[in-house]
Structure 1
Amino acid sequence: MASPSPVKVLGLCGSLRRGSLNAAALRAARELAPPGLELTIFEGLREIPPYDDDLRHDGYPPPVQALRDGIRAADAVLIATPEYNYSVPGVLKNAIDWASRPPEQPFEGKPVGIMGASPGAIGTARAQYHLRQSFVFLNALVLNRPEVMIGQATSRFDAEGRLTDEKTREFVQSLLVALRDWTLRLRR
Structure 2
Amino acid sequence: MSVRILALVGSLRAGSHNRQLAEAAVKLAPEGAEVVLYEGLAEIPFYNEDIDVEGSVPAAAAALRAAAGEADGFLLFSPEYNGTIPAVLKNAIDWLSRPFGAGAFTGKPVAVVGTAYGQYGGVWAQDEARKAVGIAGGTVLEDVKLSIPGSLERFASTHPVDDAEVAEQLTEVIARVHGHAGEAVAA
- What CA deviation, in whole Å up to 9, does each residue of 1:1-33 have, x standing for no partner? xxxx11101110000011111100000111111
TM-score by length of 2: 0.92
Whole-Å Cα distance in 2 between the matches of residues 35 and 186 of structure 1? 18
Number of residue pairs matched by the alignment: 184
- What CA deviation, in whole Å up to 9, does each residue of 1:78-113 have, x standing for no partner? 110111111100111112112222163111101111
Whole-Å Cα distance in 1 between the matches of residues 140 and 5 of structure 2? 13
Is the 2:79–2:86 Cα contact (8 Å) retained in structure 1? yes
CA RMSD of aligned residues (A): 1.6
- What residue in structure 1 maps to residue 60 of structure 2? 63
Q: Structure 2: 5+ residue runs without aligned partners?
A: none
- What residue in structure 2 maps to residue 46 of structure 1? 42
Note if 1:87 corresponds to 2:94. no
Corresponding residue to 2:134 among 126, 129, 136? 136
Shift of 1:49: 1.0
Is the 1:157–1:164 Cα contact (8 Å) retained in structure 2? no
- Aligned with 2:4: secondary structure? strand
Runs of 4+ with >6 A deviation: none
- Tell me the percent identity: 36
- What residue in structure 1 maps to residue 113 of structure 2? 115
- What CA deviation, in whole Å up to 9, does each residue of 1:41-67 have, x standing for no partner? 110101001222211126210110011
Corresponding residue to 2:72 among 72, 75, 100? 75
Q: Structure 1: 5+ residue runs without aligned partners?
A: none
- What residue in structure 1 maps to residue 4 of structure 2? 8
- Aligned with 1:119: secondary structure? coil
Q: Residue type matched to 1:30 in 2?
A: V
Shift of 1:162: 4.6
Q: Residue type matched to 1:35 in 2?
A: E
Is the 1:156–1:164 Cα contact (8 Å) retained in structure 2? no
Is the 2:108–2:184 Cα contact (8 Å) retained in structure 1? no
Q: Structure 2 matches for 1:103-182, cutoff 5 A?
A: 104-159=102-157, 161-182=159-180
CA distance 1:23–1:182, shift in 2 (3 Å): same
Is the 1:145–1:175 Cα contact (8 Å) retained in structure 2? no
Shift of 1:136: 2.4
TM-score by length of 1: 0.91
Whole-Å Cα distance in 2 between the matches of residues 37 and 155 of structure 1? 31
Q: Residue type matched to 1:77 in 2?
A: F
